[in-house]
Amino acid sequence: VLDAKQIKRFAAEFDPQPFHLDDAAAAASLFDGLAASGWHTAALTMRMLVESVPLADGLVGAELQLAWPKPTRPGMTLQVFGEVVEIKPSRSKPDMAIVTMRNETRDQDGDVLQVFTVKMPVFKRMRAHN
C-alpha cells in the first residue's frame, strides 16, 4: 500500500511541487488532495513490470507513451495489467524484434491510474550450431 510518506519523499527528491508535498496545498490544488507524482506512479509500475514480465534480456524501452487519467493517492494498492499488442520482426536485424506492450496501472478498485505503451527491442534466443 502506497502511503503519504512515500509520496512526499519521492516528490521531495524529483517533483517538488506543493500538491505532491503538502496536504493543505494539495487540497487547494486542482488535484483536490495529495497526489503522487506521475513519475512515482511510473517508477512503481516499472518495479512491478520488472518483477513479472519474463524477458530474458531485460525490459528496455526504446520509446513510450504515458498518460495519467486519475491521480495516485495515499492508501491505494497498485496493480499492473499488461498485454503484448504487437511483435514486429526487425527488418535490419534478423535476430531482433520490436515488442509493443500496453500496460494499465490500476488501483485496488480497478480504476485506471496510468496507461503506458512501450516499444521494446527483444532478441531471439541464441542457438548452438553444429
User: Where on the chain is the footprint of its own copies (CB under 8 A)?
Assistant: 13-19, 29-30, 37-39, 42-44, 46-47, 50, 57-68
Categorise residue 80: left if φ over 0, alpha if ψ from -120 to 50, beta otherwise.
beta
Of 126 and 130, nearer to its own copies (C-beta) is: 126
The DSSP secondary structure of 33-73, one letter per residue, reads: S----HHHHHHHHHHHHHHH---TT----SEEEEE-SS---
> Nearest Cα to 95, choosing from 119, 126, 58?
126
**Cell numbers placing 82:** 499488461
Q: Which is nearer to its own copies, 56 or 130 (CB)?
A: 56
In whole angstroms, how close is the CB of 4 to its own copies at the nearest point?
17
117's grid cell: 505503451
The CA dihedral of 38, 74, 113, 87, to the nearest 10 degrees, is 70
Write down the least CB distance from residue 44 to its own copies, Å.
Answer: 7
Nearest to its own copies of 18, 74 (CB atom): 18
Q: Specify the residue, 61 or 82, whose C-beta has the smaller distance to its own copies.
A: 61
Q: How far is the CB of 78 from its own copies (least distance, A)?
A: 13
Whole-number minimum distance, CB 18 to its own copies, in Å?
Answer: 7
